[in-house]
């Protein structure tokens, strides 16, 4: 075991040496890419080379890549930008349960400040977006209660367990499996008595995760995009957790959708794949016009004005290329580490429940419900042993709170505080995994 075991790669992962080299090399390029003199044009060539390489990994056209400061900015630009250029009469946002706070909080803000009406979509017992509920929400919109009545949250057989120790979370121990819709964080919806258009909100846009950042469960991006296209609704996909760990293919997912509907925007971030913090991108289809958040020089199709970060773009492109080139072999390696850990966990700590789908998932993300033990307390005990894990998404200003993702699976608030997220990455070794497998049961026994 190394002096420090870092198992929180879903929060951020180490800067790669090759990426640091690319960043330093690009920093030596003198000139503003918007200048028309020779130095400026050389800077522009370096910038556009990085954009083209990133686009090749993301499966889109270079002109569709809008460079940003990271995932949160990309998501906010997509959702606010699509909302403010919405079709006349459309005032609904289709928002699945369990989305990242970048989406949840943006939609909540739009609901409170600009009158958006939120249509929630239930997750299945594995944490995937229910495709029938998603399609229904896109088709008619809903106040929430009607949708849950149409598509009830299914239960699961708690005795079902695969050889890795994964079990369906919903319904364990006789818990109510009705999907709570974000509880206190749910944005308000209209009941038709507020002067609005009635109980049904016509969808202005929809958003969804490609890979769930807490559970690691993968959604059917192609199916979600097709459903949005058929309903004539613009869709944003949050691919931050997926990039480098699962296939990401904007044009393929978009398919033959009509202009302005179906998949039109996709967010990615750099620091999850070994690029510097502060790098990211939003893919915006050439078929859609969204409202910018920043105004100024009109760079990047006018969608994000400001002097562009050449070094950041070069680093992001290099990290994306490396992650994609290594994805097949790395995925296989991470599956091996996952099974190694869960085999020991099932033997030494049978109380643990593994959340998320056992197969359709990111192999490096392991989300555990640990009955009777505070996730925050377990985190501190492991940290004292030199092992870094998390209780969920790191994008909550460092404040521990019950996981809304776990609550969307049918658990209560107390149980949603009894979770740990463990995430392996490129630097994770079998020794790291064994150290966690030894330390976690010991920490758990101290608390229960």
pLDDT digits (tens, 9 = 90+) for 338-393: 999 999 999 999 999 999 999 999 999 999 999 999 999 999 999 999 999 999 76
Instruction: Answer yes or no: is 351 within a domain.
Output: yes
Q: Is 268 left (phi over 0), alpha (psi -120 to 50) or beta?
A: beta
Q: Are residues 361 and 287 in the same domain?
A: no
Q: Are residues 299 and 363 in the same domain?
A: no
What mean pLDDT do residues 10-17 have? Answer: 98
Q: Are residues 379 and 234 in the same domain?
A: no
Instruction: Answer yes or no: is 365 within a domain.
Output: yes
Is 395 in the active site? Answer: yes
Q: Are residues 314 and 341 in the same domain?
A: no
CATH number, domain with residue 401: 3.90.1150.10
Instruction: Answer yes or no: is 183 within a domain.
Output: yes
What mean pLDDT do residues 205-225 have? Answer: 97
- Which of the residues 395, 401, 434, 438 is marked catalytic? 395
Give residue 232's pLDDT band: very low, low, confident or very high (50, 70, 90). Answer: very high
CATH number, domain with residue 271: 3.40.640.10
Quote the domain boundaries for residue 409.
Answer: 5-15+326-447
pTM equals 0.87
Tell me how crowded residue 429 is: count the other CB atoms within 10 A of its CB.
Answer: 13
Instruction: Answer yes or no: is 32 within a domain.
Output: no
- Provide the domain count of the chain: 2
Averaged confidence pLDDT in the chain: 87
Q: Which of 139-148, 322-331, 435-444 has the lowest mean pLDDT?
A: 139-148
Give 398 or 405, the one with higher predicted confidence. Answer: 405
pLDDT for position 2: 52
Q: Are residues 85 and 169 in the same domain?
A: yes
What mean pLDDT do residues 384-409 have? Answer: 82
Q: Which of 102-106, 164-168, 441-445 has the lowest mean pLDDT?
A: 164-168
Give 150 or 447, the one with higher predicted confidence. Answer: 447
65-99 pLDDT, tens digit each: 999 999 999 999 999 999 999 999 999 999 999 99
pLDDT for position 131: 86
Residue entry with tokens 């083209």: 52
Q: Are residues 316 and 345 in the same domain?
A: no
Instruction: Answer yes or no: is 59 within a domain.
Output: yes
The DSSP symbol for 392 reads S
Q: Are residues 359 and 315 in the same domain?
A: no
Q: Are residues 378 and 399 in the same domain?
A: yes
Q: Are residues 273 and 290 in the same domain?
A: yes
Q: Are residues 353 and 399 in the same domain?
A: yes
pLDDT for position 395: 52
Instruction: Answer yes or no: is 105 within a domain.
Output: yes
């Amino acid at each position: 075991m190394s002096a420090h075991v870092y198992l929180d790669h879903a929060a951020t992962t180490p800067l790669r040496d090759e990426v640091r080299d690319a960043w330093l090399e690009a920093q030596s390029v003198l000139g503003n890419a918007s200048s028309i003199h020779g130095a400026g044009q050389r800077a522009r060539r370096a910038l556009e080379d990085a954009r083209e390489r990133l686009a090749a990994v993301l499966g889109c056209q270079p002109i569709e890549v809008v460079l940003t400061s990271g995932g949160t900015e990309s998501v906010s630009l997509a959702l606010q930008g699509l909302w403010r250029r919405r079709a006349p009469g459309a005032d609904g946002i289709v928002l699945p349960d369990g989305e990242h706070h970048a989406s949840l909080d943006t939609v909540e803000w739009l609901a409170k400040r600009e009158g958006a009406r939120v249509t929630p979509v239930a997750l299945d017992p594995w944490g995937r977006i229910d495709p029938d509920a998603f399609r229904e929400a896109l088709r008619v919109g809903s106040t929430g209660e009607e949708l849950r009545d149409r598509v009830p949250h299914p239960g699961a057989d708690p005795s079902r367990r695969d050889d890795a120790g994964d079990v369906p979370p919903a319904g364990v121990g006789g818990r109510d499996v009705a999907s709570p819709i974000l509880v206190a964080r749910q944005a308000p919806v209209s009941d038709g008595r507020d002067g609005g258009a009635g109980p049904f909100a016509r969808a202005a846009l929809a958003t969804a995760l490609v890979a769930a950042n807490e559970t690691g469960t993968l959604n059917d991006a192609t199916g979600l995009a097709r459903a949005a296209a058929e309903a004539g609704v613009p869709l944003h996909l949050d691919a931050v957790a997926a990039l480098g760990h699962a296939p990401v293919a904007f044009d393929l997912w978009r398919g033959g959708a009509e202009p302005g509907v179906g998949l039109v925007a996709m967010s990615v971030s750099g620091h999850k794949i070994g690029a510097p913090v502060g790098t990211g991108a939003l893919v915006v289809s050439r078929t859609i016009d969204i409202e910018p958040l920043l105004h100024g020089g009109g760079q990047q199709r006018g969608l994000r004005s400001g002097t562009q970060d050449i070094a950041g773009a070069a680093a992001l492109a290099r990290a994306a290329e490396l992650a994609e080139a290594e994805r097949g072999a790395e995925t296989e390696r991470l599956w091996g580490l996952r099974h190694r850990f869960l085999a020991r966990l099932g033997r030494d700590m049978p109380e643990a429940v593994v959340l998320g789908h056992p197969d359709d998932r990111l192999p490096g993300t392991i989300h555990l419900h640990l009955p009777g033990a505070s996730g925050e307390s377990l985190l501190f005990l492991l940290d004292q042993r030199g092992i870094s894990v998390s209780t969920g998404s790191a994008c909550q200003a460092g404040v521990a709170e019950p996981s809304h993702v776990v609550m969307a699976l049918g658990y209560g608030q107390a149980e949603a505080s009894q979770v740990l997220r463990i995430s392996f990455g490129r630097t994770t070794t079998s020794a790291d995994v064994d150290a966690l497998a030894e330390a976690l049961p010991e920490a758990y026994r101290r608390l229960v």
